[in-house]
């Protein structure tokens, strides 16, 4: 049963703020996220890629039900991987062809639960790992960092550089503070 108290991770009430101030959820009327749903918010196009199905197994079912979005803004494509773990990443990678991804928000704070082929599949030039300094989980995992570095992606870790902003002028890159 779907919780009606606003606790559903898949349809956070503040998911999208439209230009006229109305809140829009990425979910349909039954509060189930739909893969393929497209929402335009100002100059940003958000396409829901995941969840497509429930994945049960040894990994976290809630993490593998995390919403994955492709954001397109000013010609830049940003893949937002939420907290999906290996099984959902493999399912995502084998379900879609992504081309021209510029930036990836690395899944699950860069945990070790990563599909080894995901970084190369995205082809992203920039990878952001949002993670707290001195976190008790040991994120990001060294093997995850190696996977992204092996693709030639420039990696920005918030535990090392603080806030990260993607810039497009004079060229695609990061600024930090």
Q: Using CA atoms, how far apart are residues 19 and 127, in angstroms rounded to an integer?
A: 28
pLDDT in the model for residue 162: 94
Q: Which fold has domain 35-176?
A: Metallo-beta-lactamase; Chain A (3.60.15)
**Please, what's the b/e burial string for 148-176 (b: 16 or more CB within 10 A of its CB; e: otherwise)?**
beebebebbbbbeeeebebeeeeeeebee
Q: Would you say the C-alpha torsion 164, 165, 167, 172 has a positive or negative sign?
A: positive
Count of other CB atoms within 10 angstroms of residue 87? 19
Q: Using CA atoms, how far apart are residues 12 and 28, in angstroms rounded to an integer?
A: 13
Q: Give the pair of three-digit tokens for residue 124.
A: 């992203």
Domain ranges within the chain, ordered by starting residue:
35-176
Give the pLDDT of the chain (177 residues) as one tens digit per residue.
334 444 444 444 334 333 333 444 555 443 446 788 899 989 999 999 988 888 888 888 888 888 999 999 999 999 999 999 999 999 999 988 877 899 999 998 999 999 999 999 999 999 999 999 988 888 999 999 999 999 999 999 999 999 999 999 899 999 998
pLDDT in the model for residue 50: 86
Instruction: Say if residues 96 and 81 touch (Cβ distance below 8 Å).
Output: no
Helix%, strand%, coil% for the chain, nearest 5:
20, 25, 50
Q: Give the pair of three-digit tokens for residue 5.
A: 């108290």
The reported pTM is 0.79
Q: Using CA atoms, how far apart are residues 98 and 121, in angstroms rounded to an integer?
A: 8
């Amino acid at each position: 049963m779907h919780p009606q108290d606003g606790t559903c991770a898949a349809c956070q009430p503040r998911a999208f703020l439209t230009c006229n101030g109305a809140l829009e959820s990425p979910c349909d009327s039954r509060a189930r996220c739909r893969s393929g749903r497209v929402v335009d918010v100002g100059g940003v196009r958000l396409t829901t890629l995941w969840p497509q199905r429930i994945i049960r197994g040894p990994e976290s079912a809630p993490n593998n039900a995390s919403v994955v979005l492709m954001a397109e803004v000013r010609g830049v494509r940003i893949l937002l991987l939420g907290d999906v773990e290996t099984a959902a990443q493999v399912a995502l990678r084998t379900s879609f062809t992504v081309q021209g991804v510029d930036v990836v928000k690395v899944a699950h704070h860069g945990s070790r639960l990563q599909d080894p082929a995901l970084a190369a599949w995205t082809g992203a030039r920039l990878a952001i790992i949002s993670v707290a300094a001195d976190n008790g989980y040991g994120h990001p995992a060294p093997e995850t960092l190696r996977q992204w570095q092996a693709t030639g992606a420039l990696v920005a870790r918030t535990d090392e550089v603080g806030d990260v902003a993607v810039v497009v002028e004079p060229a695609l890159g990061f600024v930090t503070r």
